[in-house]
Amino acid sequence: MTTAKIFGIGRHRLTVDGEGVTTLVAFTGCPLRCKYCLNKQSWELERGRLYTPELLFEEVKIDQLYFLATHGGITFGGGEPLLQLPFIQAFSDLCGRQWQIVVETSLHVPLATVQAIDPIVDGYIIDIKDMNPEIYEAYTGKANNIVLENLQWLLQNGDPNRIKVRIPHIPDFNSDDDVERSKEQLAAMGVENFDIFQYIIR
């Protein structure tokens, strides 16, 4: 039986995690250890509630009319949702193609995972952090080469409009100039949609 730990379900989110009305489902588990992580609870694998795809579907289908009317659906985040490939595939079989499926991801997973999930994903919100490999590794604890390889594959094998890349200005790690350089490099790769924002550290 396919199961996953989910630490949060946020309903009635409007245009912030994809098109229309969405429900954000947050998984535990992440390969990165970002210094200012917004969801550190995702690191704690014992946290959250254990779900099957069937149980999650029964819980979120209450909003099906909103999804269908607004071209919305489910956004999987976390944590790293692509670590839950079998769960998302099984969930997609239940909800069908009328619901949009979006993933908020670092893309820090094997290329085979991206290739396997791509046929059922309608949109990607990708956290790049920074294109400079030294900045990326200092902030996340990991190298960014696998991320860029996966992003390149997505851009070469699908519609770039499905992809939005988030580039944060992270205090003590990158500058406005770093952010602009990252945007220029990503645009040269074929990225068209960006979310540039400032981390507020409290």
Structure tokens at 37: 């992580």
Can you give the pLDDT at residue 162?
Answer: 95
Domain that holds residue 192: 4-198
Can you give the pLDDT at residue 201?
Answer: 73
For the chain, the first-to-last Cα distance in angstroms comes to 41
CATH number at residue 132: 3.20.20.70
Residue 166 pLDDT greater than 70, yes or no: yes
Q: What is the total count of domains within the chain?
A: 1
Can you give the pLDDT at residue 202?
Answer: 65
Over residues 48-81, the pLDDT tens digits come to: 899 999 999 999 999 999 999 999 999 999 999 9
Share of the chain above pLDDT 90, in %: 84
DSSP letter (8 states) at residue 131: S
pTM: 0.94
User: Who has greater pLDDT, 17 or 164?
Assistant: 164
Over residues 87-105, the pLDDT tens digits come to: 999 999 999 999 999 999 9
- The structure tokens 């990225």 sit at 191
What does the alpha-carbon distance between residue 62 and residue 75 come to, in Å, rounded to a whole number? 15
